[in-house]
Amino acid sequence: MSDQPLDGAVALVTGASSGIGAATARRLAREGAAVALVARRRDRLREVASGIAAAGGHAVAVEADITEPDRAEGAVQETLDRLGRLDILVNNAGIRLLSSALHTAVEEWDRMVALNVAALLHITHAAVPHLIYAASTSPRQTADVVNVGSAAARAARPSSSVYSLTKSGLSAFSESLRRELLGERVRVSVVEPGAVDTELVDHLNGTTRDAARRQLAGMEALRPEDVADAIGYIVTRERRVAVSQMLVRAGDQTW
């Protein structure tokens, strides 16, 4: 018998081409799960999958733009076709574009809503029936949805109004879904990272990017692996334990 708690389980991780998503995929693979890596950058997905394979794990690259409902459903179906089942969904894909309401372009708001909210809804809707089935047939007797939120859901700051809106909405959606799926033995959790050193900062415009980098320079930010550890902890609990929400801040973080 394997001593890996996720042996035989299948996880789907969105935004898995870099940062928190890639680190989470590697963590779940070490715990024994086969992992479907979902993102738009196929070359980066293949790099992550190759790294997991070199470490003795199993991962497949699933290229998809999950802001499109059909592509999100297709990503779930491809996971089932290639890996046979779905036990864990990690909704990590997201974007953080910071700017004031006066100076931002509405297209930036639309991009955040499309990826941070709509894409999460698309993939979750497609995955839930299969997670319910997995919970009823798995030796673990449970399945998991983990939504990666943000400390910005608790402390909205200037220039982050719509980003905070998307992450606050994620938390509310997660709590409602948690209650809906209680009887199905599908756990729903939210991990809210604080300041993390990822390439999300590179998506900001010049002035805001420089300000964000100065802010990070004044502290030791979280690493993607720190957030992956939190996710790994949540999904490896025994069925009787549900970690519904976890806030993970950098030790020096004041907000």
- Asked if pLDDT for residue 248 goes beyond 90, the answer is yes
Q: For residue 163, indicate whether it is catalytic.
A: yes
Which of 27, 31, 62, 163 is catalytic? The answer is 163
Q: What is the pTM of this model?
A: 0.93
CA–CA gap between residue 23 and residue 18 (Å, rounded): 7
d(CA 136, CA 230): 25
Classify residue 254 by burial, with Cβ atoms within 10 Å: 0-12, 13-18, 19+: exposed
Residue type, 42: R
Task: Read off the pLDDT of residues 162-192 as tens digits, 9 standing for 90 and up.
Answer: 999 999 999 999 999 999 999 999 999 999 9
pLDDT by residue (tens digit) across 104-144?
899 999 999 999 999 999 999 999 999 999 999 999 999 99
- What class, spelled out in words, does domain 10-242 have in CATH? alpha beta
> Mind listing the pLDDT tens digit for each residue in 56-105?
999 999 999 999 999 999 999 999 999 999 999 999 999 999 888 898 89
**What is the distance, to the nearest Å, from the Cα of residue 62 to the centroid of all Cα atoms in its chain?**
15
To 10 degrees, what angle do helices 161-181 and 106-113 make? Answer: 20
CA distances from 149 to 78, 102, 143, 216, 240 (A): 26, 25, 19, 19, 24
Residue 1 — very low, low, confident or very high, per pLDDT cuts 50/70/90? very low
Residues of the chain with pLDDT > 70, as a percent, come to 92
Confidence at residue 214, expressed as pLDDT on a 0 to 100 scale: 61
Q: pLDDT band at 203, cuts 50/70/90?
A: low
CA distance 93 to 223: 17
The structure tokens 């499109």 sit at 68
Contact 234, 149 (CB under 8 A): no
Domain locations in the chain?
A: 10-242
